Amino acid sequence: MAGAVLVTGGAGYIGSHACVALIESGHEVVVLDNFCNSHPEAIRRIEEICGVAPVTIQGDIRDRALLDELFSAHNIESVMHFAGLKAVGESVEMPLAYYENNVAGTLTLLQAMDSAALSSIVFSSSATVYGDPASVPINEHFPLAPTSPYGWTKQMLEQVLTDWQRVDDTRRVALLRYFNPAGAHPSGRMGEDPQGPPNNLVPFVAQVAVGKRDKLRVFGDDYPTPDGTGVRDYIHVLDLVDGHVVALDYLQTHPGLHTFNLGTGSGVSVLEMVQAFAAASGRDIPYEVVDRRAGDIAECWADASRARDLLNWEANRDLAQMCEDTWRWQQGNPGGYR
Ligand code: NAD
Ligand code: UFG
C-alpha cells in the first residue's frame, strides 16, 4: 500500500482542509503541528467530516529528533508542508522569529527528509513573493520581489527547495503560490480561526456580520482600481486544497521542480466583497474608509493557466459560495474552535 502523506501545519486553516481533501481522495494522513496558531479541535472536526482521524503528533518542525522518530515510525511517502508563521505585519516586528520558524524549520524538515530518503514535497508559497507586480494578471515568470520578512521567507524557501531538488533528479517539489485563500468547509464545521482581530479581509467582514466587531475599516479608496479599493484574487479554500491533491499526484509522474499559481484568475474589490458577504449573510456590513494600510498593493490576481494546462485544475467555486460557506462557519462557531 502507498505510504502516508505527512501534513505539517495540518491543524491550521489550509492544512485542515487539505487533510480532508487528502483523506477523501484515499490518502493516509499524518499531521505534525505544534498548535502555535491552531487548536486540536480542528483535528476532531477532520474526523467528524471524514470518519477517520489523522494520526496527529504535537510537535515542532524544528525538532530534528522528533522528525527522525516520526519518519521511522510511520510509512511516509511525501510531505505537504503548511507549517509556518504567516502574519505580514508581525513579521516586520519580529523578523528573527519568522526566519527561525519558517526558514530554519523547513531546513530541519528537509534534512530529516534526506535522512529518511524522502523525495517529494508540496510547499505553501504565496503570491506575496511577487511583491507589487508591474501588471496583472501575474504569471509564474514574473520577477520575485517580496516586501516583508514573511515574503522573504517564502522566496528564500523557494530557492532552498530549488537547490535541494537540483541535487537529485528523482526529487519532486511543487511550489504552490496561493493568492488569497478564503471560505470554509461547506459543512460549517471547519474554517479559519484567527486569534485576536483578523488581519485579513474575509474573516474580519465575517466577524462584523456576526456582530463581533462593529465595523470594517476599508484601507483606502483612492487606489487606481474601478471603485478605488484594493483588488485581490480570492480563492475558495476547497479549490486551493484540491490543487494540492492534484499537484501531489502530478509529482508522482513528474519528478523535478514545478511552480504553480493557485488563484481564480479574477479580481474582487474590497467593496465587492462587502456586498457579496452582505448578500450571503443577509446582514449589514457597516464600514468606514480609512487611510491605506502600509505595504498594501492596489491589485493582484493570478494568471492560473499553467495549473489549468498541466494539472488540469481550475478554481470553480464562486464568490457567493465563498461567502456562504464562511458565513455558515462563522455563525455556527462564533468563538472559532475554542
Ligand atoms: P495557519 O496559521 O492557520 O496554519 C499554520 C499551521 O502551522 C498552524 O496550525 C500552526 O500551529 C502550525 N505551525 C506553525 N509553525 C509551526 C512549527 N514550527 N512546527 C509545527 N507546526 C507549526 O495558516 P494557514 O493560513 O493555514 O497557512 C498555511 C500555509 O500557507 C503557511 O505556510 C502560510 O504561510 C501559507 N499561505 C497562507 C496564506 C493565507 O492567506 N492563509 C496565503 C499564502 C500562503
Ligand atoms: N482590507 C481592508 N480592511 C481590512 C483588511 C483588509 O480594507 O480590515 C483590504 C486590504 O487593504 C486589501 C484587501 O482587503 O486591499 C485584502 O487584504 P488581506 O489582508 O485580506 O490580504 P492581502 O492581499 O493584503 O494579504 C494576503 C495574505 C498575505 C499574503 C498576501 C499576498 O494575508 O499573507 O495576501 O499573497 F502575503
Q: Which three cell numbers stand for residue 124?
A: 505553501
- CA of residue 317 to ligand 2 center, whole Å: 20
Strand partners, 174: 122, 258
Instruction: Give residue 1's pLDDT.
Output: 56
**Residues in contact with 327: Cβ distance below 8 Å, sequence separation at least 6, in sequence order:** 206, 209, 277, 280, 281
- Ligand 2 site residues (CB inside 6 A) read 86, 88, 126-128, 180, 199-201, 204, 216-219, 230, 232, 270, 293, 296
Query: Which ligand is nearest to the Cα of residue 198, counting in written order?
Result: 2
- Annotation says 150 is catalytic: yes
Query: Which ligand is nearest to the Cα of residue 129, counting in written order?
Result: 2
- Ligand 1 site residues (CB inside 6 A) read 8-9, 11-15, 32-38, 60-62, 82-86, 101, 105, 124, 126, 178, 181
Which segments of the chain have a pLDDT < 50?
Answer: none
Nearest atom in ligand 2 to the alpha carbon of residue 223 is 15
* Test site for ligand 2: of 130, 216, 232, most ligand atoms within 8 A of the Cβ: 232
Amino acid at residue number 115: S
Instruction: Give residue 2's pLDDT.
Output: 84
Q: Which CATH superfamily is domain 4-182+234-264 in?
A: NAD(P)-binding Rossmann-like Domain (3.40.50.720)
Residues in the chain: 338
The catalytic position among 98, 99, 150, 250 is 150
Write the pLDDT tens digit of every residue in 174-186.
999 999 999 999 9
Give the predicted TM-score (pTM) of the model.
0.98
Looking at 220-313, which runs of residues are DSSP E strands?
231-232, 234-236, 256-262, 268-269, 287-290, 299-300
Domain ranges of the chain: 4-182+234-264
Write the pLDDT tens digit of every residue in 106-162.
999 999 999 999 999 999 999 999 999 999 999 999 999 999 999 999 999 999 999
